[in-house]
Structure 1
Amino acid sequence: MTQDCPTVFNISNQAIGFKNQPIFSNLSLMIKQGEKVAIVGTSGSGKSTLLNYLYQCRSVDVAYCPQKSMLVDTLSVYHNIYMGILNQHGFFYNVINLIRPFPEHKTRVEQLTRRLGLTGLLFKSIDKLSGGQQQRCAIGRALYQRLPIFIGDEPFSGLDPKQSVELLKAIKDQHQTVVVALHNKEMALNQFDRIIGIKDGAIAFDTPATEVSSEQLDLIYHRIEHSE
């Protein structure tokens, strides 16, 4: 039961902004270890600002998959995934491994690419991949970090529903706590424990997924459909 688990995020009456622009004026939010949380809201409602703030609170423990993947186009799938753990090794170790991959990392990344649906693309450069393949590589970079918390900002953008569910399962298997912003109504309802609706820089609702009313989601998603 997550109510008996440690708290991983605890925000109380916090003002949060982006580039000196206030977004949330009085935000309170608690997330427990083991929770799988979907955050929904229109573009510009504050989802990305909230996720970035959560990441900054626990950056050492968080595998972060931002909306802009920050992949290096000229480097391979292997190199981009491995870059997720550059901070876990020394400079010379990383340089040697990037020039001539160590067997341990090559094997682990190759196994991960198979689960991501990127079989045979290990040393293909990012600029030769489709948008969906690049998105899966970005998720792979986060997964390779093996950290307890995953935060994703639209990590399934450009992927079909089946791929999205498969990748979410991989994320859940790898991470204790999962916080994801997404626009997929069915995925939010069926794949997460809790749904937080963001509207105009405030939490409109914060409810167990099994108790979210259609009216609550319809209001949020109606605005999404007309803003994209």
Structure 2
Amino acid sequence: MSHPPIVLADASAAYRGRTVLAGIDLTIRPGERVALLGRSGAGKSTLIGLLHAQAAGDIALVPQAAALVRPLSVFHNVYMGRLDRRSTLHNLRTLIRPARADVEAVRGVLASVDLAEQLWARAGELSGGQQQRVSLARALHNGRPILLGDEPVSALDRRQGAAVLARMAERHETLILALHDVSLALDVADRIVVLDAGRIVLDAASGGLDAAALARFYEPLP
């Protein structure tokens, strides 16, 4: 399923009276792989929020924190990715006695992030990296065309992160990812958008960039 472009035109955002983003002009078209880069505090998470507000019905969101229901099983946390596409009665039944088809669908998604063996474990008992993979599996199970992630692989090592992002690219038409790993961003994205002090200071194809070219955006502020 395709989706319309996401368009921000001269967008801004403020928090407690302080401007966080200003003059944001950004269009993201179907099929793009976009990495959002910049120092901590540059406004990436706020931009993620603006993009989500523009196209929530087409987006599977991976927030910066895993946002799991810790007492529930891994199965139930991943199943929640499709709660709005099932009837209330079906969802209530699933809480007590999941249907075999739902269990196998979730098991398959968990296998794609190497967590199938944790299907019935309590989410709160997993390690930080495992919890992040559950959050990613929930977004994959969601199945909407746009995957919007705020540091979605920050708790994984580079090999695991690259593998998970590759699976995201297979399952979602469009990726928009705030990442802290510049090399990983260059590998997974075809477009790099850099924020600095609440403004877009670079928007370019990743093919013409390298880590050295982006290093200046991470130099300590004077």
Say if 2:166 is the partner of 1:169.
Answer: yes
> What residue in structure 1 maps to residue 27 of structure 2?
30
- 1:20-169 matches, within 5 Å, as 21-169=18-166
What fraction of aligned residue pairs are identical, expressed as a percent? 34
> What residue in structure 2 maps to residue 218 of structure 1?
215
> What residue in structure 1 maps to residue 6 of structure 2?
9
Say if 2:160 is the partner of 1:182.
Answer: no
* TM superposition score normalised by structure 1: 0.91
Please state whether the residue corresponding to 2:118 is helix, strand or coil.
Answer: coil
C-alpha displacement of 1:153? 0.1
Distance 1:173 1:214 in 2: 25
Distance 2:169 2:15 in 1: 29
Residues 46, 198 of structure 1: 8 Å contact kept: yes
Unpaired runs of 5+ residues, structure 1, are: none
After TM superposition, the structure 1 stretch with the greater mean CA deviation from structure 2, 7-16 or 164-173, is: 7-16
Per-residue displacement from partner, 1:12-50 (whole Å, max 9, x unpaired)? 112223455421121100111000000011111100000
* TM superposition score normalised by structure 2: 0.94
Residues 3, 58 of structure 2: 8 Å contact kept: no
Q: How many residues of Structure 1 are paired with residues of Structure 2 in the alignment?
A: 220
4+ long deviations beyond 6 Å? none
> What amino acid maps onto 1:93 in structure 2?
H
> What amino acid maps onto 2:219 in structure 1?
H
Please state whether the residue corresponding to 1:120 is helix, strand or coil.
Answer: helix
Distance 1:94 1:6 in 2: 27
Distance 2:58 2:15 in 1: 22
> What amino acid maps onto 1:81 in structure 2?
V
Say if 2:193 is the partner of 1:199.
Answer: no
Distance 2:212 2:118 in 1: 44
Please state whether the residue corresponding to 1:27 is helix, strand or coil.
Answer: strand
Residues 40, 183 of structure 1: 8 Å contact kept: yes
